[in-house]
Structure 1
Amino acid sequence: AYPTLRITMWILPISMALPINWPILHMFPSFVANLHNMPAYFTLVLTGSSHDFRAHGPPGTGMRFFVTCNPANIQHIFTTNYPNFPKGAEFAAIFDIMGGSLFTIDGEPAHRMRAKVKGVLNGPRLLDNLASYCVDKVKNSLLPLFAHMVSIETPLDMQEMMLRFMFDLCATSLFGVDPGLLSSDLPPMDVAVALDTVMEVGFFRHVMPTSCWKLMRRLNIGPERKLSTSHTVLRRFVVEMMDRWKTNTCHTET
């Protein structure tokens, strides 16, 4: 029922191919050179290394990685034998923005929280809500937006549209409120950018000596300054979603 769309797919440039294991510095230069484009770079590296590879950096850095996208390895680490892979205090410090969450805790607290999260994720109510949200989002937001883009003859970045779609879907499931990133005016994706920054700076902290990134945090410079700004954006978003949910709840009750 909708006209043909002109879709623009952007392919990000990769500055280097597979990481080079240099003397002393090891793979550190390759990763630093691609720090701005890590998801695409890791995709290339994993494709060229049979889905698993080890990455090492120079002495004094925390760069000692086993990178994998093998489903069997992921199941072993995160499900079957997760108690054998504790995150530790260093990991919790690196991702301090997520302190106290399942992402950073270990031991019995992690076991109890995993059980609660598993119960919620496997519950039929959540699955039914997700299905309902998805159908409603496609019908009332995504397809009308496509039709609008066609009517004004504007090229469509499908990667961005899918990112907006998934962000709205996830946020609606978590907060019960639709952020509306798929509205016709295409509002800025500040929160999605902030989440990317958190992961980017988390990787930066992993490869740099602890004393280095902590000094940068104290001075509020470099990536640490970007992270501080992202913290503010994420806190503001969570508060806004909670306020909107309370408002909607009050209106429903009245």
Structure 2
Amino acid sequence: MNMPPQLLVSSFLFILPLLFLFVFTKKKNKSSPDSTKQQLPKSYPLVGHYFSISPNQHRRNQYTTEVLQISPAATFVFRLLFGARRIITANPSVVQHILKTNFSIYQKGDSFRIPLTDFLGEGIFNADGDNWKFQRQVASHEFNTKSLRKFVETVVETELSDRLLPILSEAASDNSVLDFQDILQRFAFDNICKLAFGFDPAYLSPSLPDAKFALAFDDAVSISSQRSSSFVPWVWKIKKIFGIGSEKQLAQSISEVRDFATHIVREKKKELAEKSSVDSVDLLSRFLSSGLSDEKFVMDIVISFILAGKDTTSAALTWFFWLVAVNPHVEKQILKEINDQSETSVYSEVKEMVYTQAALCESMRLYPPVPADTKEAVGDDVLPDGTVVKKGDKVTYHPYAMGRMENIWGKDWAEYRPERWLEWNEESKKWSLVMRDSYSYPVFQAGPRICLGKEMAFLQMKRVVAGVLRRFRVVPAMAEGTEPVFISHLTSKMKGGFPVTFVERGGTE
């Protein structure tokens, strides 16, 4: 028999104070001998794991990792309000199951799409089914070897030599502090716009201009992400109805972002209309030339690819440069590799930078650009570790936690050690790269949705590393021993930015 709503609310109000009293009492008894042992969080009637989740919202990646590290199968079922469930895993066999084996069951789903639809619309990162397949098919043409080579040898090289390096050189001569995270985001933003849309926003100009679009984009990402991770989603929905608080700010930010995307799309349409033949290689031209006429849909595609290109590689590089700065023995090996390749072409140089790629893989293991990704089950299932999945459950695989699992990486998982990705070849006297399978290391996703831009990202990052470290030593402008704080929205960031100074290298370095 169904309980009347009034009785349900009354019961909840009666039980809630008792639960608070119980939890408060438990906290006061922390001095008991067993309290130092790590324990899995406890679930309570109606509120589930609220008392464990709520105080850790500001460090949800770190907290979730701690839970998964002590979970027997590296999978844990969080119970939310009124019986809702979220399954989180760092188990490679489970990751393979949801991203490949039973791919059709685990989709973006309404729980992901609805909070993000105002921002991402029907773009590829917010799409399922035929819509996703169409965008994936068209986009795949842009990520072949020829396009990658063009990207490395023209777009990245121009942005690096004409914009990034002169800015760093001036900072070195003035001994000024720059937020390197901001600089790398500007660099990546210019690159993705030029490659994907044939448009140069010149965000990395010497004056480092304030860009209304970039600020609005970051706000839209942050608030949309907060929607997705909200413990009580009806709160943001009510705020949206009344147009108040963060929802008012989100609406203003999305308007700014869509004005920018509209400008890009209309300029590209005009450019294509004036051409006698279509020879543009950028992604937007391909979509428009495929017959798409729905301007909103095309704008959704533009916004999704800006999200992918602006924040992922810049996040990876930010943490990489910090890790290298505090691990001088790694920097020494990278410099040796860079100097050994100094006489080769740009494309050959980055192709041969094996140790550098290992160092990048290792930094993304510890600080993945996308620390967690959630799917929604559209049917009942059972995971390989025996966890029962019910239709409507949210299932999250967690690259950030997986990079910290002893059973995957060994007892030294906390060490930054590029050598774990390498094998020494005695005949050639060279390192060779040994990649982990994509289910133990799902930094670029895996299965049918594996990242199309993976190779492009490595080529871009290795070229930036070579260009910057060949000329400069990157010195964090932080108190000694300070460790930056890892935070994430849809993608990860270094809290408060990454303040650094740049020191020109001498001839003997």
Do they superpose with TM above 0.5? yes
TM-score by length of 1: 0.70
- C-alpha contact 2:203 2:211 (8 A) present in aligned 1: yes
Q: Aligned residue for 2:373?
A: none
User: Match of 1:95, SS?
Assistant: helix
Measure how far apart 1:27 and its partner are. 3.4
Q: Aligned residue for 2:53?
A: 28
Measure how far apart 1:117 and its partner are. 2.5
Counterpart Cα distance in 1 of 2:95 and 2:192:
22
Name the % identity: 22
* Alignment size in residue pairs: 228
Q: Aligned residue for 1:141?
A: 163
Amino acid paired to 2:88: F
- C-alpha contact 1:87 1:106 (8 A) present in aligned 2: yes
Counterpart Cα distance in 2 of 1:134 and 1:199:
25
Q: Aligned residue for 2:194?
A: 172
- C-alpha contact 2:68 2:89 (8 A) present in aligned 1: no
Question: 1:91–1:44: structure 2 CA closer, same or farther, 3 Å change rule?
Answer: closer
Mean CA deviation greater in 141-150 or 203-212: 203-212
Counterpart Cα distance in 2 of 1:248 and 1:106:
31
Measure how far apart 1:217 and its partner are. 0.4
Larger RCO of the pair (alpha carbons < 8 Å, separation 6+): 2
- C-alpha contact 1:54 1:65 (8 A) present in aligned 2: yes
- C-alpha contact 1:62 1:209 (8 A) present in aligned 2: no
User: Match of 2:88, SS?
Assistant: strand
- C-alpha contact 1:27 1:57 (8 A) present in aligned 2: no
Equivalent residues in 2 for 1:235-250 (5 A)?
Answer: 235-242=258-265
User: Match of 2:125, SS?
Assistant: coil
Amino acid paired to 1:143: L
Q: Aligned residue for 2:207?
A: 185
Question: 1:103–1:163: structure 2 CA closer, same or farther, 3 Å change rule?
Answer: same
Q: Aligned residue for 2:108?
A: 87
- Select the structure that is richer in strand: 2
Measure how far apart 1:183 and its partner are. 0.8
- C-alpha contact 2:164 2:204 (8 A) present in aligned 1: yes
- Summarize deviations over 1:7-32 as a string: whole Å, max 9, x none: xxxxxxxxxxx9x9465424332343
Question: 1:73–1:176: structure 2 CA closer, same or farther, 3 Å change rule?
Answer: farther
Equivalent residues in 2 for 1:2-17 (5 A)?
Answer: none
Amino acid paired to 1:100: E
Q: Aligned residue for 1:7?
A: none
Question: 1:125–1:220: structure 2 CA closer, same or farther, 3 Å change rule?
Answer: farther
Counterpart Cα distance in 2 of 1:220 and 1:53:
38
Residue among 126, 129, 140 paired with 1:107: 129
Question: 1:200–1:66: structure 2 CA closer, same or farther, 3 Å change rule?
Answer: farther
Question: 1:23–1:73: structure 2 CA closer, same or farther, 3 Å change rule?
Answer: closer
- C-alpha contact 1:191 1:233 (8 A) present in aligned 2: yes
Q: Aligned residue for 2:347?
A: none
- Select the structure that is richer in helix: 1
Q: Aligned residue for 1:228?
A: 251
Counterpart Cα distance in 2 of 1:210 and 1:232:
22
Root-mean-square deviation (CA, aligned residues, Å) is 3.7
Mean CA deviation greater in 22-31 or 165-174: 22-31
TM-score by length of 2: 0.38
Counterpart Cα distance in 2 of 1:188 and 1:180:
11
Measure how far apart 1:80 and its partner are. 6.2
Q: Aligned residue for 1:3?
A: none
User: Match of 1:27, SS?
Assistant: helix
- Structure of greater Rg: 2
Amino acid paired to 1:91: F
Question: 1:204–1:129: structure 2 CA closer, same or farther, 3 Å change rule?
Answer: same
5+ long unaligned stretches in structure 1: 1-17
Residue among 234, 245, 267 paired with 1:211: 234
- C-alpha contact 2:56 2:63 (8 A) present in aligned 1: no
Counterpart Cα distance in 2 of 1:61 and 1:189:
44
- Summarize deviations over 1:211-235 as a string: whole Å, max 9, x none: 3221110111222122112102211
Mean CA deviation greater in 196-205 or 140-149: 196-205
